[in-house]
Amino acid sequence: MADVRPFDFLGIGANRCGTTSLWRALDSHPEIRVPSDKEREFFSSDERYERGLEHYIRRTFPDLRDEEVIGTVTPQLMSPNPQALQTTVERIHATCPEVRLITLLRDPIERCVSQLRRMKKISHGKEESFDEFIARVAAKRGGIDKIPLVRASDYGRILRRYYETFPKDQIRVFFTADLDRDPATLYRQVFEHIGVDPTHDPGAPRVHQGGLKQRVSQEALDELQAEMIRRGLLPEDENTRRGFAWWLRHLWNTEPDQQGTEISDDLRRQLAKRYLADAEELEGLIGVEPPWLNSLRATAS
């Protein structure tokens, strides 16, 4: 493994917290290389991990120059499943012990609602409210604490694994609220942590993917891509094609809306009580008060 070029940085999550905006900003930096299709995961994929990091790097970053900094942004690295998370953290440490880690976090309740909206868009899920979904799955799994979507917002519990494994100075936690309020400062701090020119201006707008509807069907997207390939309108390079396909499916093919964002006061209070202890644990880990801590306290009480 010593001869294999390791990742210089990893954006480990969290899901639905602005990682696509972060990925686009990183991709714009002339010193940085990231996968063209963002979430081309390695550590949480048994198949890719077994093939080895060298195979992944060679396929993902063709014509890589020595001076380029390489990384990826994959929310799968903050799995809510303790066993899967432990395996992922161990693989990262074994392969890239000096890697710089970045995470972007959002109000845990808002993140849950956003993830459900994303799930419903992709799977054409049931026409049910957030409250109805939580009640149905909690009854099926034996409680709200057993729902992966809810557990994915346990930032303190999840990140503790990383803080127990990596030196604290290799990990930086950022907040989606700061990305919305002052993206220039946040990106400068991200670039500084990675070790590239912090003065680079990504000029990347905040990417909002929220929406339950697709602009066109998946069949229409497949037909469009096939016709573009037939007419020679897509480059032969595999990475460029994959990047275009990812952008087309995950970014362009979303019609923004605010459907399904409602949550009852009772459920919000229940979730606030659940997340309060975890937010306090997160504060202890990073030494900074999460922006949503006071809101959780007020709602829980």
The answer to whether position 213 is within a domain reads: no
The answer to whether position 294 is within a domain reads: yes
In this structure, what DSSP letter does residue 173 have? E
Phi, psi (degrees; rounded to nearest 5) at 161: -60, -40
Integer-rounded Cα Rg, in Å, for the chain is 20
CATH (domain of 31) = 3.40.50.300
Q: Report the pLDDT value the prediction gives residue 34, as an integer from 0 to 100.
A: 94
Q: Is it the case that residue 249 has pLDDT exceeding 60?
A: yes
pLDDT for 124-158, tens place per residue?
556 688 999 999 999 999 999 999 999 999 999 99
Q: Is it the case that residue 112 has pLDDT exceeding 60?
A: yes
The answer to whether position 172 is within a domain reads: yes
CA distances from 297 to 55, 159, 288 (A): 48, 21, 16
CA gap 280, 283 in Å, rounded: 5
CA gap 217, 223 in Å, rounded: 10
Q: What average pLDDT does range 236-246 have in this prediction?
A: 73
Q: What average pLDDT does range 63-81 have in this prediction?
A: 94
pLDDT for 263-281, tens place per residue?
999 999 999 999 999 999 9
Q: Is it the case that residue 258 has pLDDT exceeding 70?
A: no
CA gap 209, 257 in Å, rounded: 9
Torsion angle, CA of 277/278/282/288, rounded to 10 degrees? -50
Q: Report the pLDDT value the prediction gives residue 53, as an integer from 0 to 100.
A: 94
114 against 175, higher pLDDT: 175
- Cα 100 to the chain's mean position, in Å? 16
Q: Is it the case that residue 123 has pLDDT exceeding 60?
A: no
The answer to whether position 15 is within a domain reads: yes
Q: Report the pLDDT value the prediction gives residue 260, as an integer from 0 to 100.
A: 54
CA gap 154, 62 in Å, rounded: 37
Q: Which of 13, 201, 7, 205 is nearest to 102 (CA)?
A: 13
Q: How confident is the model at residue 240 (pLDDT cuts 50, 70, 90)?
A: confident
CA gap 153, 173 in Å, rounded: 14
The answer to whether position 138 is within a domain reads: no
Q: Is it the case that residue 162 has pLDDT exceeding 70?
A: yes
Residue length of the chain:
301
Q: What count of Cα atoms within 13 Å lies in the side-chain half-sphere of residue 146?
A: 9
Q: Report the pLDDT value the prediction gives residue 142, as an integer from 0 to 100.
A: 95
């009854």: which residue's tokens?
139
The answer to whether position 293 is within a domain reads: yes
CA gap 49, 55 in Å, rounded: 9
The answer to whether position 19 is within a domain reads: yes
Number of domains in the chain: 1
The answer to whether position 234 is within a domain reads: no
Structure pTM? 0.85
Q: Is it the case that residue 118 has pLDDT exceeding 50?
A: yes
Q: Which of 93-97, 141-145, 207-211 has the lowest mean pLDDT?
A: 207-211
Q: How confident is the model at residue 259 (pLDDT cuts 50, 70, 90)?
A: low
Domain hosting 14: range is: 9-109+154-208+276-300
